[in-house]
Amino acid sequence: MSQASIWAIPALHDNYIWVAQRDSSIVIVDPGDANVVLDAIQAKGLKLCAILITHHHWDHVNGLEGILSVHDVPVYGPAVDLDRVPGIQHGLNDGDHISLPEIDLDLAIMTIPGHTLDHIAYFGEFGTKPLVFCGDTLFSGGCGRLFEGDPPTMHASLQRLAKLPAETMVCCAHEYTQANLEFALAVEPCNTSTLNYRDRVQLLRAENKPTLPSSIGLELEINPFMRCHHDTLHKAASAFSQKAISSDVDTFATIRSWKDNF
């Protein structure tokens, strides 16, 4: 039986370019750097079959031109970016599905605006587990900055992701986990799940190993931005803002502002 695997190519300062591989065929996600992708393909004898884009930021798309100059493959991305991101050939909207037969992967498209307004995620089953390529919307222990969206929009997007199966692998695009956990513990200093996870993460990073993928189930335990419905988060937001906060969206807005200045 053919083998399916998920791994990441480190790029730029702290980006991950995700690779879904079956046998020697691969699909990549958010190539911000062409050289590292081309080097990996050549070194491992791989066949590139498609490219997926989650949003338009340069560190997710700057490698497209260089890769496409060598590999003639389809590029999928947000429909609203067809004119903004040269190289995207197939525009995707919420509820669309794409099939990648070379690696036996079918993906459902979810719009998850907030970090950017065009942001999409790709969700599907690969190998023995579900996975989601979520770009810069959800990080392990954190979430993306609100460059284009507002707190209600981002909170709603995170809640969409929260409803995915707990075992879903979270394939996000940056190695921010250590810094995110420092903030998470400032918000919930007595969260034992976060304390234990921080210890595991410190060991991984000391060996220069990735902390990702995470899982939806883990994020629901340790990520303050996924936990805004908990009383501990309401209390932490109220203490930080020095006013009573009880709504989940207001809690999210408060802790996002707190994180921006942490």
Other CB atoms within 10 Å distance of the CB of residue 222: 25
The active-site residue, picked from 30, 33, 56, 60, is 60
230 has catalytic annotation = no
Query: What's 63's DSSP letter?
Result: T
Crossing angle of helices 177-187 and 248-260, rounded to 10°? 120
Dig out the tokens for 130 from the structure: 């579900």
How buried is residue 13: exposed, middle or buried, by Cβ count under 10 Å (0-12/13-18/19+)?
A: exposed
How buried is residue 62: exposed, middle or buried, by Cβ count under 10 Å (0-12/13-18/19+)?
A: middle
104 has catalytic annotation = no
Q: How far apart are CA 252 and CA 262, in angstroms?
A: 15
90 has catalytic annotation = no
The active-site residue, picked from 33, 118, 136, 248, is 136
C-alpha 193: how far from its chain's center?
21
59 has catalytic annotation = yes
The active-site residue, picked from 30, 33, 59, 118, is 59
Is residue 127 within 8 Å of residue 4, measured between CB atoms?
yes
155 has catalytic annotation = no
The active-site residue, picked from 174, 234, 248, 250, is 174
Nearest residue to 229 (alpha-carbon basis) of 158, 139, 178: 158
39 has catalytic annotation = no
The active-site residue, picked from 55, 56, 119, 155, is 55
The active-site residue, picked from 30, 56, 115, 118, is 115
56 has catalytic annotation = no
Non-local CB neighbours of 75 within 8 Å, separated by 6+ positions:
50, 51, 52, 53, 64, 68, 87, 88, 89, 90
Residues labelled as active-site residues: 55, 57, 59-60, 115, 136, 174
